[in-house]
């Protein structure tokens, strides 16, 4: 006949079970702590990425003949030349920021239909402001540079 477990055996079993639950709980807390600490370290070491470029070098000014219109998508601009010289117009619609598309005699916004002349002036709304003119300079090597972060007056031309 098997022996009946004594109270001492039952208490020892409960102690082992309690130790196991405590061990698992401690292990879980330790793992959570390590993960949280790792996330905190990563958060504290975060560095913002490099700023997006705002200067875009093109060809020589003489490479853009009078009446030409060149899309410079990287700069978000059209480079145009009239009798006064070269100028760059932003492709960003002043209404809500869509990218305008070139038409035979200007630009049109595909989002809400605003139309602009080749000089960037509004021909039809809902846009109420003209397209932005972007600063143009010439590099030391003689190449054109569009500065997409610098808006200038619409009357400015870069003489060629």
Closest approach, Cβ 108 to ligand FES, in A, equals: 9
Closest approach, Cβ 95 to ligand FES, in A, equals: 3
Considering beta carbons, is residue 88 or 127 the nearer one to ligand FES?
127
Considering beta carbons, is residue 93 or 134 the nearer one to ligand FES?
93
CA torsion, ordered 48, 52, 54, 56, to nearest 10 deg: 150
Closest approach, Cβ 53 to ligand FES, in A, equals: 24
**CB burial of residue 41 (10 Å; 0-12, 13-18, 19+):** exposed
Closest approach, Cβ 41 to ligand FES, in A, equals: 43
Which residues of the chain form contacts with ligand FES (CB under 6 A)?
Answer: 93, 95-98, 109, 111-112, 114, 126-127
Closest approach, Cβ 87 to ligand FES, in A, equals: 21
Considering beta carbons, is residue 92 or 157 the nearer one to ligand FES?
92
Considering beta carbons, is residue 118 or 122 the nearer one to ligand FES?
122
Considering beta carbons, is residue 95 or 135 the nearer one to ligand FES?
95
């Amino acid at each position: 006949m098997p022996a009946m477990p004594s109270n001492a055996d039952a208490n020892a079993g409960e102690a082992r079970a309690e130790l196991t639950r405590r061990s698992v709980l401690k292990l879980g807390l330790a793992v959570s702590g390590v993960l949280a600490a790792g996330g905190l370290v990563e958060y504290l070491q975060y560095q913002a990425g490099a700023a997006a470029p705002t200067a875009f070098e093109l060809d020589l000014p003489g490479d853009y003949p009078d009446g030409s219109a060149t899309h410079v998508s990287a700069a978000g601009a059209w480079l145009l030349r009239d009798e006064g010289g070269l100028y760059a117009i932003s492709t960003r619609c002043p209404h809500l920021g869509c990218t305008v598309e070139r038409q035979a005699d200007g630009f049109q916004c595909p989002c809400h239909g605003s139309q602009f002349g080749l000089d960037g002036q509004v021909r039809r709304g809902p846009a109420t402001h003209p397209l932005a003119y972007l600063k143009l300079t010439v590099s030391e090597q003689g190449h054109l540079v569009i500065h997409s972060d610098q808006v200038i007056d619409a009357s400015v031309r870069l003489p060629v």
